[in-house]
Amino acid sequence: MATAVPAERDAVASGLPASGVVDVVAVGVGPAAAAAGTARVLATAAAAGTPYELVVSAGIGGGFPPHAPLGSLVVADAVTAADLGAETPDGFVPVTALGFGRVTHEPPAALVRELAAASGAATGTVLTVSTVTGSAGSAAALRARHPRALAEAMEGFGVAEAAAALGIPVAEVRAVSNAVGPRDRAAWRIADALAALTEAFGKFTPVLESWNRHD
C-alpha cells in the first residue's frame, strides 16, 4: 500500500491484520514524490529477491458531486493523469496527443471487481492532479474531459508509473474527504474519510491476500 501521508498510512494499517502480508508506506504528497517513494520501495524489495506482486495507491481524495459523496469509497478502473500535457489555444492537450508517454494506467479488471464487491465502492476513473482543483469551472472542465471521473487526488498516477516501471500491477482506492470544486476547507471531512479507509481495508484483506496476478 502506498499512501501520501502517515495519517493515511495509519488508517489503512488499522484495517489490516497486524501480522499480514501487506506493507503500508507513506511515500509523499503529489505525483513526483509518490513516484519516487514508490519506486524506492519496489526496487529495494526486488533487489532483495522479494518483489511485490501488487501496489495500491490509497488515501483520501476529492469526489465529483453527485457521483462520489463525502465518506464514500472509489476504486479506480482507470488511474489517469489529468494535467500532464500542454495548454493550447484550443484547450488542454494531454502528452499522449503530443506523441509522448502515457496518461492512464488500468488496474486488473478482476481485482477492481473484487475490491468493489467487498466494499460497495463505486468504480470509475480517479484523476491525478498536481494542483488541487479549486473552482466549479475547473471541476466542470475536468469532468468534460473525463466523463467517467469519480474522484481526484495527487498520487495515483505517480504510484502507477513506478509500479509499471517494475512490471507490477497497480490499483487505486480513495475515500472521499471533500467535494472537487470551490475551496471550502470547513466542509472537509478528513476524519470520516480516514475512518472509511480503515473500514475498507478490513474488507479488502481477503481480496488482497488471495489475489494472484496470474489469475
Give the footprint of ligand LNDFFVEH on this chain (CB under 6 A).
4, 29, 59-62, 129, 132-133, 152-155, 177-178, 180, 183, 185
Per the listing, cell 496518461 goes with: 103
- With beta carbons less than 8 A apart as the criterion, state whether 9 and 57 touch: no
- With beta carbons less than 8 A apart as the criterion, state whether 139 and 64 touch: yes
Per the listing, cell 473484487 goes with: 114
State the sign of the Cα–Cα–Cα–Cα dihedral 191, 194, 198, 200. Answer: positive
Cβ nearer to ligand LNDFFVEH, comparing 66 with 99: 66
The CB-of-46 to ligand LNDFFVEH minimum distance in angstroms stands at 26
The CB-of-77 to ligand LNDFFVEH minimum distance in angstroms stands at 18
Cβ nearer to ligand LNDFFVEH, comparing 88 with 131: 131
Cβ nearer to ligand LNDFFVEH, comparing 119 with 178: 178
Cβ nearer to ligand LNDFFVEH, comparing 112 with 142: 142
Residue 138, judged by CB atoms within 10 A of its CB (0-12, 13-18, 19+), counts as middle
Cβ nearer to ligand LNDFFVEH, comparing 185 with 214: 185
The CB-of-158 to ligand LNDFFVEH minimum distance in angstroms stands at 10
Q: Which residue is nearest to ligand LNDFFVEH (CB)?
A: 62
- Please, which residues have CB within 8 angstroms of residue 119's CB and are 6 or more apart in sequence? 73, 75, 199, 200, 203, 204
The CB-of-27 to ligand LNDFFVEH minimum distance in angstroms stands at 10
Percent composition of the chain: helix, strand, coil (DSSP 3-state, to 5): 40, 25, 35
The CB-of-142 to ligand LNDFFVEH minimum distance in angstroms stands at 10
- Residue 88, number of CB atoms within 10 A of its CB: 10
The CB-of-178 to ligand LNDFFVEH minimum distance in angstroms stands at 5
Cβ nearer to ligand LNDFFVEH, comparing 56 with 211: 56
- Please, which residues have CB within 8 angstroms of residue 26's CB and are 6 or more apart in sequence? 3, 4, 5, 6, 8, 9, 37
